[in-house]
Amino acid sequence: MVFAMGLFFGSFAVAQNTDSHIEPFAPDSSFRSWSVGGGIGGLSLYTVFLGSPDFKTQVPKIGYSIYVKKQFAPTFGLEADFLFGELQGKYAVAPPNTNSPYIKFDTQINWSAALSANFVIVNTNWRSNQSHLQLYSTLGGGMISYTPTIYDYSGTKFPGKSSSAITIPIGLGLKYSITSGINLDIGYQVNFVDAGNVDGYAYSGRNDKFSYTHVGLEFALGKGRKPQLAGHNAEPAMRTEYESGINLLQTQVFRLKLKADSIQGQLDRQRVQTARLEAVVTSANKDSDGDGVPDKFDKCPNTPA
């Protein structure tokens, strides 16, 4: 699904030669703020949070997700998330000194839909603000629809009803810009469900939760010459602006120096020419005997003054 989305949105997203310079506080219209993405990964009732699931052994199963995101600021966006897949586990937990009643469960996640806030925690930019590496977190709320099935040790199947419940997904991830319009997305998400029968067996009396570890791609929508708002960082942009101003001033100073050197050369040549003319005039006006007649015209040189 991720690669199919890439083919579909590629004409909108892929652009290698984007505008290399964006002012530090440019308006949102200077950026691409809409994006779509998708991922594939593993689903499990095991999470990084405390609390044991109702089945001792978890069997990671395939899950896949898609989302649409609107970025409102470089550090904040809202996304509509959709998740599908399957959960599976073995050997149900039982009270002490009793046999486990069920050998496994298999739950189909029909769909999970949530609206999540996306917060960029760290954003590192390079190559004139066009490439970025982000650490981000998500927090949202929505609904999940699931259908659990449990099996006893004799192989008897106990299909459950399709149920729905409120879900609160929270996540942490990394995004790296492969190109100016495509990001590699690696994330970990925990979905807290307001129900205890996601696995079909409400032994602990606690609400269930499950994790989704995934890798995927995000595609920026819009004109290819515009950078992504999510990847924009004002600090390197300000540094680029400063360096560009310094380079421009240095270029102007260099040109003025060249012009001044050229004018100075002309003045030096003019002084030499003036000195030559003064020497010629001085020579022409020379009166060695002081009789008031320049030597050049004196027919009786060396006579008394």
Closest CA to 104 of 93, 112, 115: 93
Asked if residues 203 and 226 have their Cβ atoms less than 8 Å apart, the reply is no
Which residue would you say has higher pLDDT here, 257 or 213? 213
For residue range 236-280, list pLDDT tens digits in order: 555 566 667 778 888 888 888 888 888 998 988 888 888 888 777
Mean pLDDT within 46-59: 88
Asked if residues 113 and 79 have their Cβ atoms less than 8 Å apart, the reply is no
Q: Is the pLDDT of residue 104 over 70?
A: yes
Q: Is the pLDDT of residue 57 over 80?
A: yes
Of the pLDDT bands very low, low, confident and very high (cuts 50, 70, 90), residue 91 is very high
Mean pLDDT within 47-65: 90
**Distance, CA of 236 to chain centre:** 13
For residue range 244-254, list pLDDT tens digits in order: 777 888 888 88
Q: According to the model, what pLDDT value does residue 18 have?
A: 38
Q: According to the model, what pLDDT value does residue 7 have?
A: 38
Q: According to the model, what pLDDT value does residue 199 have?
A: 92
Q: According to the model, what pLDDT value does residue 168 have?
A: 98
Q: Is the pLDDT of residue 4 over 50?
A: no
Of the pLDDT bands very low, low, confident and very high (cuts 50, 70, 90), residue 285 is confident
Which residue would you say has higher pLDDT here, 245 or 59? 59
Q: What percent of the chain has pLDDT over 70?
A: 82
Q: According to the model, what pLDDT value does residue 79 have?
A: 97
**Cα–Cα distance measured from residue 60 to residue 87, given in angstroms and rounded to the nearest whole number:** 7
Asked if residues 6 and 154 have their Cβ atoms less than 8 Å apart, the reply is no
Q: According to the model, what pLDDT value does residue 97 have?
A: 76
Which residue would you say has higher pLDDT here, 144 or 300? 144
Q: Is the pLDDT of residue 235 over 60?
A: no
Q: Is the pLDDT of residue 127 over 60?
A: no
**Distance, CA of 90 to chain centre:** 40
User: What CA–CA distances, in Å, run from 291 to 49, 280, 287?
Assistant: 119, 21, 7
Mean pLDDT within 193-218: 92
Reported as half-sphere exposure (CB side, CA atoms, 13 A), residue 41 has a value of 21
Instruction: Specify the 3-state DSSP secondary structure of 241.
Output: helix
Q: What is the mean pLDDT of the chain?
A: 84
For residue range 131-146, list pLDDT tens digits in order: 789 999 999 999 999 9
For residue range 66-89, list pLDDT tens digits in order: 999 999 988 999 999 999 999 999
Residue 159 token pair: 């299909």
Q: According to the model, what pLDDT value does residue 227 have?
A: 82
